Amino acid sequence: MGKVTGFKEFERKDETYKPVKERVTNYDEFTQPLNEAEITKQGSRCMDCGIPFCHSGCPLGNLIPDFNHMVHQGEWKKASWILHSTNNFPEFTGRLCPAPCEQACVLGLIDDPISIENIEKNIVERAFKEGWVVPQIPNKRTGKKIAVVGSGPAGLAAAQQLNRAGHTVTVFERDDELGGLLRYGIPNFKLEKGIIDRRIDILEKEGIKFKTNANVGVNYPIEKLKKFNAIVLCGGATQKRGLPIEGADSEGVVQAMDFLTQQTKVVLGKEVKDQVLATDKHVIVIGGGDTGSDCVGTSNRHGAKSVTNFEIMPKPPGHRSPSTPWPYWPLQLKTSSSHKEGCDRNWLINTKEFITNEKGELTALKTVNVEWKMVPGQRPELIELEGTEKTWPCDLALLALGFTGPEAILSDQLGIETDFRSNYKATTVAYQTNIPKIFTAGDMRRGQSLIVWAISEGREAARKVDEYLMGYSNLPTKGNGDLPAM
Ligand SMILES: Cc1cc2nc3c(=O)[nH]c(=O)nc-3n(C[C@H](O)[C@H](O)[C@H](O)COP(=O)(O)OP(=O)(O)OC[C@H]3O[C@@H](n4cnc5c(N)ncnc54)[C@H](O)[C@@H]3O)c2cc1C
Ligand code: SF4
């Protein structure tokens, strides 16, 4: 345990942000770390509960009280060893995870929970700084060749685990750079791309082969893919949802992902023709969630005249609602750092029409207020409220309406069964598709989700692939770290 009285003595402290005025002038990360003495105190707040609910709150089963204790003791190297035993990429989750573990923290019942995510980030950053994150090259190779399609967190985690088991792994990525949505979805100000490159460098040194600009089923033939001993499909779920209303095809109605990807490419020094800019525009972001919030942050950095956000669902309560009691993930209002940079947020609002001028340019949006009729046992019904029609000036509408599922190109060509949501079908027990040597993990299997789930599924699927190839596996299962040699 950290310190018997730690949670009584010390309050929770989180890292701070640079002032809004300063941070919106660039695309850099803007968090300001706590000093080592403060992080040590934060670690000591952990009560080392008999049943640490944080373990089950974390999809990876991270060994949270154990690394908190090590941080309190100043044993940073051991903390890193424990953290890496269950999480391949704590530098991603330590920055971007919504931290369901903290919502399940027992201290959260009576006080602010332990700042687990921030402790995680500090451990991994310290480990990189000290040179403790080194390639783990397997002693023996099995001779089995595995293809991983997709280099998002699921694909990278699966690749690293399978490589550790001694298999020869090739990762195929259709983009020009690796990382999946970490690279071109999530903006730089949330995750600087050097953080991904630093990890890829380790993976390459471990022996994993990467092929970028390799779009399997398009410019990389499926017949060649089939020659691998096993295949793990981690292609994500990035089919964009549209808004099929009048004016939807007008200039100025743009998919959020296109807008975000273009900006990241510009930050990375790549050429982007006709970049969509929010500069001096009235921007309306349709759809909440992470993607919507990232559009708000990017629009403010472009210098938008105004940024407005529409959400069709009701405004969640400011505190945990009775429908999601502790230790569940709470239904509760989330205000991101991007929202705090300037955004007019509106709930229970439905967009009815995009209004354009004679040149076909977007000038306004027409909306109506709505309410949801809930009848037990039936699907919620959306009711439009008469007399609430409103017109909003708008030069740029960003559609952040979520994703309808994975693309069908691989399932069609490989003959993979999909479920009723069009996700690639496999259970969380086997991660195996209807074709025995083909496995699937991450968003492609579960639908658009979270980084932590992608890493978790990549790890679990890797173990199943290893079992399939070898008849047994020494790779760890969830929450049961492999504790690599220090
Ligand atoms: C804008 C945005 C912000 C987000 N912010 C957060 C956040 O703050 N925190 C969080 O936890 N989650 C966030 N998410 C969700 C998170 O990014 C995803 O859940 C996660 O990246 C899924 O990982 P994955 O590996 O399954 O798929 P992806 O990251 O989508 O990676 C799939 C990869 O497969 C490649 N691919 C697909 N088909 C082929 C093919 N045929 N051949 C070769 N390559 C192929 C794709 O190009 C892509 O690189 C966000 C998502 C978006 C869109
Ligand atoms: S990965 Fe996410 S849920 Fe797991 S310990 Fe880290 S912050 Fe918590």
Nearest-CA residue for ligand 1 atom 27 is: 236
CB of 60 closer than 6 angstroms to any ligand 2 atom: yes
**Which one has a higher pLDDT value, 375 or 347?**
347
Answer for the pair 298, 24: CB distance below 8 angstroms, yes or no.
no
Nearest CA to ligand 2 atom 1: 93
Identify the nearest ligand to the CA of 451 by its number.
1
- List the residue whose alpha carbon is closest to atom 1 of ligand 1: 291
State how far the alpha carbon of 323 is from the alpha carbons of 59, 223, 328, 335, in Å.
21, 50, 9, 20
Question: What is the pLDDT at residue 154?
Answer: 98
Could you count the other beta carbons within 10 Å of the beta carbon of residue 440? 29
Question: How far away, in angstroms, is 67 Cα from ligand 2 center?
Answer: 12
Query: H helices of 270-401, where?
Result: 289-302
Residue 258 CA to residue 242 CA, distance in Å, equals 13
172 pocket-lining for ligand 1 (C-beta < 6 Å): yes
All domains of the chain in start order, with CATH: 6-130 (1.10.1060.10), 145-238+404-470 (3.50.50.60), 242-401 (3.50.50.60)
Cα of 406 vs centre of ligand 1, distance in Å, is 10
**Mean pLDDT of the 6-18 span:** 95
What DSSP string describes 21-84? HHHTTS-S--EEPPPHHHHHHHHHT----SS-HHHHHSTT---HHHHHHHHHHT-HHHHHHHHH
- Both tokens of 9, joined, read 């003595």
Q: Is 180 in the pocket of ligand 1 (CB under 6 A)?
A: yes
Q: Whose CA is nearest to atom 41 of ligand 1?
A: 216
Q: Does residue 454 have its Cβ closer than 6 Å to ligand 1?
A: yes
Of 170, 181, 240, 407, best ligand 1 pocket probe by most atoms within 8 Å of the beta carbon: 181
CB of 154 closer than 6 A to ligand 1? yes
pLDDT of residue 3: 81
Residue 231 CB–ligand 1 contact under 6 Å:
no
The finding on whether 451 has its CB within 6 A of some atom of ligand 1 is yes
Instruction: Give the pLDDT confidence score for residue 484 in this predicted structure.
Output: 44
Q: Read off the pLDDT band of 483 (50, 70, 90).
A: very low
Task: For residue range 394-411, list pLDDT tens digits in order.
Answer: 999 999 999 999 999 999
Nearest alpha-carbon partner for 480 in 135, 161, 150, 121: 161
Residue 272 Cα to ligand 1 midpoint, Å, equals 21
Residue to substitute in 55, 86, 97 for testing ligand 2 pocket (most ligand atoms within 8 angstroms of CB)? 97
Ligand 2 near 58 CB (within 6 A)? yes
CA gap 188, 268 in Å, rounded: 9
Preceding amide of 327 cis, omega within 30: yes
Residue 480 clears pLDDT 60, i.e. is over it = no
Tens digits of per-residue pLDDT, 104-160?
Answer: 999 999 999 999 999 999 999 999 999 999 999 999 999 999 999 999 999 999 999
**3-state DSSP call for residue 118?**
helix
Say which ligand is closest to the CA of 99: 2
Residues whose CB is less than 8 angstroms from the CB of residue 225 and which lie 6 or more positions away in sequence, other chains included: 147, 149, 172, 216, 231, 414
pLDDT in tens, 420-450: 999 999 999 999 999 999 999 999 999 999 9
Report how far residue 177's alpha carbon sits from residue 214's, in angstroms, rounded to the nearest whole number.
Answer: 11
pLDDT band at 479 (very low <50, low <70, confident <90, very high): low
**Looking at this protein, which amino acid is placed at residue 407?**
E
Nearest CA to ligand 2 atom 6: 117
pLDDT at 1: 65
Q: What share of the chain in percent tops pLDDT 70?
A: 98
249: left (phi over 0), alpha (psi -120 to 50) or beta: alpha
pLDDT (0 to 100) of residue 147: 98
| Any atom of ligand 1 within 6 Å of the Cβ of 159 | no
Nearest to 75 by CA among 44, 101, 51: 44
Which ligand places an atom closest to the C-alpha of 91? 2
- The pLDDT of residue 485 is 41
Confidence of residue 322 (pLDDT cuts 50, 70, 90): confident
Per-residue pLDDT of 213-243, as tens digits, reads 999 999 999 999 999 999 999 999 999 999 9
> In this predicted model, what pLDDT tens digit does every residue of 193-211 receive, in sequence order?
999 999 999 999 999 999 9
Closest-approaching ligand to the CA atom of 158: 1
What is the per-residue pLDDT for 95? 98
Q: Give the predicted TM-score (pTM) of the model.
A: 0.97
Does residue 20 surpass a pLDDT of 90?
yes
- Atom number in ligand 1 closest to CA 444: 26
Q: Is the CB of 217 under 6 A from ligand 1?
A: yes
**DSSP reduced 3-state for 467:** helix
Separation CA 450–CA 257 (nearest Å): 16
Does 482 have pLDDT greater than 80?
A: no
Instruction: Summarize the confidence of residues 293-304 as an average pLDDT.
Output: 98
Q: Which atom of ligand 2 is nearest to the CA of 117?
A: 7
Q: Give the SS3 label for residue 384.
A: strand
Q: Is the CB of 93 inside a 6 Å radius of any atom of ligand 2?
A: yes
Handedness of CA 193, 195, 199, 204 (dihedral sign): positive
Half-sphere exposure of 232 (CA within 13 A, CB side): 41
Question: What does the pLDDT average to over 281-287?
Answer: 98
Half-sphere exposure in the Cβ direction for 105 (13 Å, CA): 26
Q: Is 216 in the pocket of ligand 1 (CB under 6 A)?
A: yes
The DSSP string of 218-270 is: TTB-HHHHTTSSEEEE-----EEP---SBTTTSBTEEEHHHHHHHHHHHHTT-
Q: pLDDT class for 291, splitting at 50, 70, 90?
A: very high
> Residue 321: its pLDDT value, please?
85
CB 354 within 8 A of CB 253: yes
User: Terminal CA-to-CA distance of the chain, rounded, Å?
Assistant: 22
Residue 186 CB–ligand 1 contact under 6 Å: yes
pLDDT, mean of residues 159-185: 98
Residues written for the chain: 486
Q: Please check the confidence at residue 11 and state whether its pLDDT lies above 70.
A: yes
What is the Cα–Cα distance from 123 to 169, expressed in whole angstroms?
28
Question: From ligand 2's centre to the CA of 462, what distance in Å?
Answer: 20
The residue whose CA has the least distance to atom 12 of ligand 1 is 450
Measure the CA dihedral 283/251/176/240, to 10°: 80
pLDDT mean over 22-50: 96
User: Cα–Cα distances in Å, from 445 out to 226, 237, 414?
Assistant: 20, 8, 15
Task: Count CA within 13 A, CB hemisphere, residue 180.
Answer: 27
